[in-house]
Amino acid sequence: MVGQRVDTPVSVEEKVQAVTDLTRDDDVAAQVATELLRRPATTAKLPPAERVRVVQELTRDDEVATTVTSDLLRRPDVARKTMRDDTARFLVNRAQFDNSAETREEIRERTPAVRKIEHTMEYLDLVGSCHQYVAALGRLVPRLRGQEFSEDERETVRRGISKVRAAADWLEGALENGEFTLDEQLAQLLKGE
């Protein structure tokens, strides 16, 4: 049989080598990769670790990662499972806090009256806290008449009184000298260290 072609089967390895050779050019590889990744049945054959690696590679660019992350978090099950990860949840909460702080700062810059309103609210919170504390003691202390406390209970209350005194002294000093930062020693005292 002269002139007749005999088809020999091509192995998977040979096909992979041919594709590898044909995709050495980055432009060709990009088009081929795009087409291959559009095949759900093909990508499903990849082990999960490889799919994760591919997604990580494709999302190195922050703009792409932002878009992908936003799209993924719009899936309720994905969002819920992601928020079970303590680190992810912390970072999302931190980002929300930072975004809120940035927005508040922009509003303060554009609208000076906001700072005056905040001052009034903070002043009222401060005065209200003082009144609330005094009122709570005025309500609780008389009800303690006739009760006996163990030494541990008395010591716990004394530690609480020390914290109250330290906080009141700090507040008074801050009002006098205008220094409203929480120093490390007081922060430790208030935490009970």
Confidence band, pLDDT 50/70/90 cuts, at residue 40: confident
In a domain? residue 137: yes
% of the chain exceeding 90 in pLDDT: 50
pLDDT over threshold 60, residue 62: yes
- Name the residue range of residue 126's domain: 112-143
Mean pLDDT, range 130-140, rounded to an integer = 95
In a domain? residue 76: no
Do 126 and 160 have their domain in common? no
- Listed in sequence order, the residues at least 6 apart from 65 whose beta carbon sits closer than 8 Å to its beta carbon are 59
Cα 131 to its chain centre, rounded Å, is 35
What's the Rg (C-alpha) of the chain?
A: 33
How far apart, in whole angstroms, are the C-alpha atoms of residue 67 and residue 55? 13
pTM of the model: 0.49
> In total, how many domains does the chain have?
3
Mean pLDDT, range 44-56, rounded to an integer = 89
Do 20 and 54 have their domain in common? yes
Do 138 and 161 have their domain in common? no
In a domain? residue 27: yes
Please, which contacts does 92-100 make with residues 24 or more away whose CB atoms are closer than 8 Å?
none
In a domain? residue 184: yes
**Both structure tokens of 66:** 């932002």
